[in-house]
Amino acid sequence: MTVAVVLGGASGVWSELTLFESMLGRRADVVVACNDAGAMYPGRLDGWCTLHHEKFARWRERRRGNPDYRAFTIKHCHDCQDTELLAERWPGSSGLYAAQVALEAFSASRVVLCGVPLTMEGRHFFDRNNAWIDAENYRRGFEAALPVIREPVRSMSGWTRELLGGPTSEWLTIRAAARL
CA distance linking residue 39 with residue 97, whole number of Å: 17
Query: pLDDT tens, 35-51?
Result: 999 999 999 999 999 98
So what CATH class is 3-173?
alpha beta
CA distance linking residue 163 with residue 143, whole number of Å: 8
* Domain ranges, ordered by start, for the chain: 3-173
Task: Judge whether 2 and 108 are in contact, CB under 8 Å.
Answer: yes
Query: pLDDT tens, 94-114?
Result: 999 999 999 999 999 999 999
Could you say which DSSP state residue 157 is in?
S
Confidence grade of residue 178 (pLDDT, cut at 50, 70, 90): very low
CA distance linking residue 42 with residue 28, whole number of Å: 15
Task: Please classify residue 173 by burial: count the beta carbons closer than 10 Å to its beta carbon, then call 0-12 exposed, 13-18 middle and 19+ buried.
Answer: exposed
Which value, to the nearest 10 degrees, does the dihedral of the CA atoms of residues 173, 146, 44, 61 take? 180
Cβ count within 10 A of residue 70 = 17
Secondary element (H or E) of residue 153: strand 153-155
Does the pLDDT of residue 4 top 50, yes or no?
A: yes
Does the pLDDT of residue 8 top 90, yes or no?
A: yes
3-state secondary structure of 179: coil
For 113, list phi and psi in degrees, rounded to 5. -90, 125
Query: pLDDT tens, 106-151?
Result: 999 999 999 999 887 766 656 556 666 677 788 899 999 999 999 9
